[in-house]
Amino acid sequence: MRPRIDLHLVRENLRQLDETTYFSEKLHTFTKKLIGAIDHVLAVPSRYSDDVVRVFADVARISQTYLAGSTTKEAPYEMEYCLRAAIPRWTGRETLITTALTSGQDFHLLPIDPWNFVATAVSGYQVGAYSPLLVLIGVPRIYRHKPIYCIPLYHELGHFIDETLGVIRYSLFVNPPPPGYDHEVVQSHRQEFFADLFAACYCGHASIRTLQTIAPHNPATPTHPATADRARVVEEFLGGIQNDIVDHFQSCLAALGAPNLMPLYSLPSIAQSYDDMRPFTLTSREHLHGIFESSWNYLSETLDGRPSSWAIPSLSDGDIERVVNDLTEKSIRNMSIKERWDSGITP
C-alpha cells in the first residue's frame, strides 16, 4: 500500500469513529486533532517524504485500532475507569485510555505518543500544548464484561508505569547484573517482579492468585521468574515481611522522586449484597480497587462451597461466575455514574 493512500484510509476510518460515541469527550478531541494532522500531511504531498508519511500512517493506524475499541459499543468501560483511577498517583501527564479487544488470553498495555512524532516530524502542523499520552490496553474479547478476570490489567499497568518512570532502567544502572548473569534475563525478571508488586498495590492477593490459577507450576524462563518466586515476593510484600527485591524497588522509586509501593486498596464487605444478588455500593477509591480481591474470593468460595444463598441445583458454575462478574461490573459502573453525576458531567 502506498503510504499516502494508507494514511487516507486511516483518516476515513477516524472520521467514521468520530461520528460514533465515546464515553469520554477527550477521545473525541484526540480523534479530531489527529484527523487535523492527517489532513495537513495529505494536503501538502511534496512537503513530507514517504518515510515520514509511512511512519505517521503506522502511528495513526495503531491509534485508530484502539480508539475503535473505546466506543460505547465496544469498550470495557469499567476496567478503563479503574485503571484511570490508578494512573494519577504515578504520573502528572494527561493520559487517555483506549481499548482493543483481543483473541485468546492476550492482555497488554502499551503507550503511544503520536503528538511527539507530529511535533518532531510533521513540522508544519502546530500541536501547541496538546500532548496527551495514549494508553493502549488489550483485553480478551471473552473477558470484556468479566472484571474479575481482568485483574491482570493491573499488572500490565505496572509495566506502563515502570516504562514511564524508568524504574528498571534506573535499577540496572545502580545495581547491574553480577558477572556471568545475562543482562536481558535480569532486566525481564525485574520488570515482572515490579509489575507484580504494582498490581498487588491495587488488587492485593488476587493479583497473584490469577497467576497461580493460570500458571501454577511454571518454572523460571528467560522472560519470567518462576511462579513460586513471584508469589513469594508478593506475599511477603503484602505481609510486611522484609524482602530484598521490594526494598530495592522502593529505593529506586525514592531516588526517582516517585511514590513508594504500598497497599492502596481496602476490601469491601460485599457478601451481604452479593448474597442478595445486589451490586455493592462503592464509596472510595480504596474499595474500588479492593472489590477485585473481594469478588475473586467471593467467587472462589461460592464455587467451592455453594453456600445456602447459591444452593440451587439448576445453577451451574458458569451461572455463578456470570452473576458474580455481573454484580462486580455493575458495582463499578454505579460508582462511575455517581461520580459523573456529582461532578455535573453528562456523557
Tell me which of 23 and 117 has the higher pLDDT. Answer: 117
Dump pLDDT digits (tens) for 306-329.
Answer: 888 888 888 899 999 999 999 999
DSSP 145: T
* Residue 9 pLDDT: 94
Query: For residues 142 and 104, is the Cβ–Cβ distance under 8 A?
Result: no
Is pLDDT above 70 for 147? yes
Minimum mean pLDDT range among 134-138, 278-282, 342-346: 342-346
Instruction: Give dist(CA 172, CA 176) in Å, integer.
Output: 5
* pTM, rounded to two decimals: 0.91
Q: Alpha helix (H) ranges present in the chain?
A: 3-18, 25-43, 50-68, 77-86, 114-121, 152-165, 167-174, 183-203, 206-214, 227-238, 244-255, 271-275, 285-305, 317-343
Average pLDDT of the residues in 101-113: 85
Average pLDDT of the residues in 83-99: 91
Q: How confident is the model at residue 68 (pLDDT cuts 50, 70, 90)?
A: confident
Average pLDDT of the residues in 18-29: 81
Q: How confident is the model at residue 17 (pLDDT cuts 50, 70, 90)?
A: confident
Average pLDDT of the residues in 109-134: 87
Is pLDDT above 80 for 347? no
Q: Write the DSSP string, 174-241.
A: HSPPPTTS-HHHHHHHHHHHHHHHHHHHHHTTHHHHHHHHHSTTPPP-SSS--HHHHHHHHHHHHTT-
Q: Is 299 helix (H, G, I), strand (E, B) or coil?
A: helix
* Residue 253 pLDDT: 98
Instruction: Give dist(CA 165, CA 101) in Å, integer.
Output: 27
Average pLDDT of the residues in 271-288: 97
Is pLDDT above 80 for 23? no
For the chain, the structural domain boundaries read 3-145, 161-255, 271-343
Instruction: Give dist(CA 303, CA 325) in Å, integer.
Output: 13
Average pLDDT of the residues in 300-307: 92
User: For all residues of the chain together, what is the average pLDDT?
Assistant: 92
Pick the closest to residue 130 from 165, 87, 94 (CA basis): 94
- Among 1-10, 111-120, 249-258, name the most confident range: 249-258
